[in-house]
Structure 1
Amino acid sequence: MKHNNLKLVGDFLRAKRESIAPETVGLIKLARARTQGLRRDDVAEFSGISTIWYSKIERGQAAGISSQVLRSIATALCLTKLEYDYLCNLISPQAIPKRDPCYTISKHTAQLLLQLNPLPALLMNDNLDIVTCNSAFNLMVGLNIDELPLAEKNYLDLTINNAIWQTFLSIDSEDKLAIQITRMAGFLRDTLAKRPNDEVLQQKIASFKKQSHIFDKAWTDNTVLQPEERLYTYNHIKLGEILLDKQLWWNFNGDASNRLNIYYPQNAIDRQRLLDILPEQGRCG
């Protein structure tokens, strides 16, 4: 395991340990506790290992962590399966070939996006870069995504920096902005665990940390998430608030993969409203 991965493991374990209130695991909360959350001694005891060994792991100084020890620590820290998988990927990275992010689409994919109108649809790669979208999505957001500079064609970058995009996501407060950015930080951490040597992704993460204190905090807090389908109220630039069910579809081609977000209205009336505002050239004949 590389030294940088050892540090990532240690940082993650420390963040999880400090996030657990002692009373939630049957311990008495000390009035003047010197540490936030659980102590290293607590985790070591629950895991059945020595405090010295656990401390070395958390300081990023312990190579050769066995699967049994890792499972014990995961149980002690109440890790989710996704968080446990994240640690496994750091400790024993899979032999994954170098994967270049995809920025192009085939004619068949372009035709698919056209046929999805009037349902808004967005195509992204693993790094949250927006490859393209259909006419219905551009109409919903109020931006022509394909005309944006390449550096700005990223879901997270737009969430951090673009006021029109924030309005589309119904972000009208710092709290809502934090929720969105934290979710995407969790997605990127999960991706990085699967491709720890991806220099392009590492550079993007470093850039986001500089751009946003919210992202920097979410990254420091070691949030790990995966994209999920969800029902959400979006702010359509022409139609106002509209409840859409975001469904996710993945396409794999060799070493590259793209994710298609399709936004479904909840009733026939809203579907017709989406159709009514779609220009004729955006419809599939």
Structure 2
Amino acid sequence: MPEDAQRQIGMFLRRKRENLAPEIAGFSRTARARTPGLRREDVAAMAGISTVWYSKIERGKADGISREALLSLARALRLDETERQYLMTLARMEMIPVRDPCMHVNRDTLRLLGRLDPLPAILINDYFDILAANRAYEAMCGLRFEALPEADRNYVGLILTNPVWRRFLEVEDEAVQESRLARIVGMLRGVNAARPGDRVLTARIERFRTMSPAFARCWDSEAVARPEELHFSFTHAVLGRIVLRKQIWQNFNGETSGRLNVYHPLDEDGFARLASVTGVPTTT
């Protein structure tokens, strides 16, 4: 196993151990006040491995660890399915087929985006670059992406630098910004695990860390996440506050991939309001 992967596994397990309350695992907090979360010996005992071996794993010396041991540690640390998948991906034991991130959009895709109006839709890649958006989405966020320098068309970078984008996402203060970043950073961490040695992704992450202490804190938290179809609140540039349900379509084109996010109103009145902005008939 590559040394970098061993190091990442150790950091991830340590963070999960420190964040797991002893009471949840059935231990008393008595005499543990100076130790955040569980002790190494607690985790080792629950996973059925020696404390010495577990300590080596946390120090980034996990070469030779078995699949069974990792799964036992995942259970001991109460990892959810996304976190377990992340751990096994780092260890190269469960690899999801990886395609290169889509970097360009063809005419057919642009035509499809246009047909989705008045439903706001945006196409992004694994780097969170914004590849294209339809008229409804640009009307909603108040930006024309083609007018931005190509290097600035990134979902994360816009959160850190663009006041129009921050207003659209309702990033009202630093606490909200960190909350927004935490989820996105969790998804980037999963991408990073599946794409070892990706220089473009590494450069993006380091750039964002340098730009934003909040991004750096989120990255150092070792949290992982995956894209979810949830309800999101936005400040529409024309309509004001609006709540939409996100639907995710994964697009594969040969050896590249992108993710199409389509946003649906919660009722017909919401659909009519969106249509009024783009001029698309409500019967479409």
- Classify the TM-score, shorter chain: over 0.9
**Aligned residue runs from structure 1 range 1-285, under 5 A:** 1-31=1-31, 33-92=33-92, 99-278=99-278
Structure 1 contact 248–262 (Cα < 8 Å) conserved: yes
Structure 1 contact 6–63 (Cα < 8 Å) conserved: yes
Structure 1 contact 247–264 (Cα < 8 Å) conserved: yes
Alpha-carbon distance in 1 for matches of 2:96, 2:39:
36
Alpha-carbon distance in 1 for matches of 2:148, 2:14:
40
Alpha-carbon distance in 2 for matches of 1:174, 1:279:
36
One-letter identity of the residue aligned with 2:27? L
Is the partner of 1:122 in helix, strand or coil?
strand
Alpha-carbon distance in 2 for matches of 1:110, 1:230:
25
- Aligned-pair distance for 1:98? 7.8
Per-residue deviation, residues 184-219 of structure 1 (Å, max 9, x unmatched): 000101111111221111111111111111211111
Is the partner of 2:251 in helix, strand or coil?
strand
Alpha-carbon distance in 2 for matches of 1:96, 1:200:
19
Per-residue deviation, residues 7-45 of structure 1 (Å, max 9, x unmatched): 000000000000011111111103453321111111111
One-letter identity of the residue aligned with 1:11? M
Structure 2 contact 98–194 (Cα < 8 Å) conserved: no
Per-residue deviation, residues 111-140 of structure 1 (Å, max 9, x unmatched): 111111111110001111000101111111
Is the partner of 2:23 in helix, strand or coil?
helix
Is the partner of 2:170 in helix, strand or coil?
coil
- Aligned-pair distance for 1:99? 4.6
Structure 1 contact 94–194 (Cα < 8 Å) conserved: no
Alpha-carbon distance in 2 for matches of 1:192, 1:243:
31
Is the partner of 2:248 in helix, strand or coil?
strand
Per-residue deviation, residues 251-274 of structure 1 (Å, max 9, x unmatched): 011221111111111222222222
Structure 1: runs of 5+ lacking an equivalent: none
How many residues in Structure 1 have an aligned counterpart in Structure 2?
A: 283
Change (3 A) 1:23 1:98: closer
Structure 2: runs of 5+ lacking an equivalent: none
One-letter identity of the residue aligned with 1:271? F
Change (3 A) 1:38 1:95: closer
- Aligned-pair distance for 1:100? 3.8
Is the partner of 1:21 in helix, strand or coil?
coil
Structure 1 contact 250–258 (Cα < 8 Å) conserved: yes
Change (3 A) 1:94 1:267: closer
Structure 1 contact 160–181 (Cα < 8 Å) conserved: no
One-letter identity of the residue aligned with 2:229? E
Alpha-carbon distance in 2 for matches of 1:249, 1:215:
27
- Aligned-pair distance for 1:4? 0.6
Change (3 A) 1:96 1:50: closer
Tell which deviates more after alignment, 213-222 or 9-18. Answer: 213-222
Is the partner of 2:24 in helix, strand or coil?
helix
Alpha-carbon distance in 1 for matches of 2:155, 2:93:
27
One-letter identity of the residue aligned with 1:267? D
Seq. identity, %? 44
One-letter identity of the residue aligned with 1:177? Q
Per-residue deviation, residues 131-186 of structure 1 (Å, max 9, x unmatched): 01011111111110122111111111111221111111112132221111000000
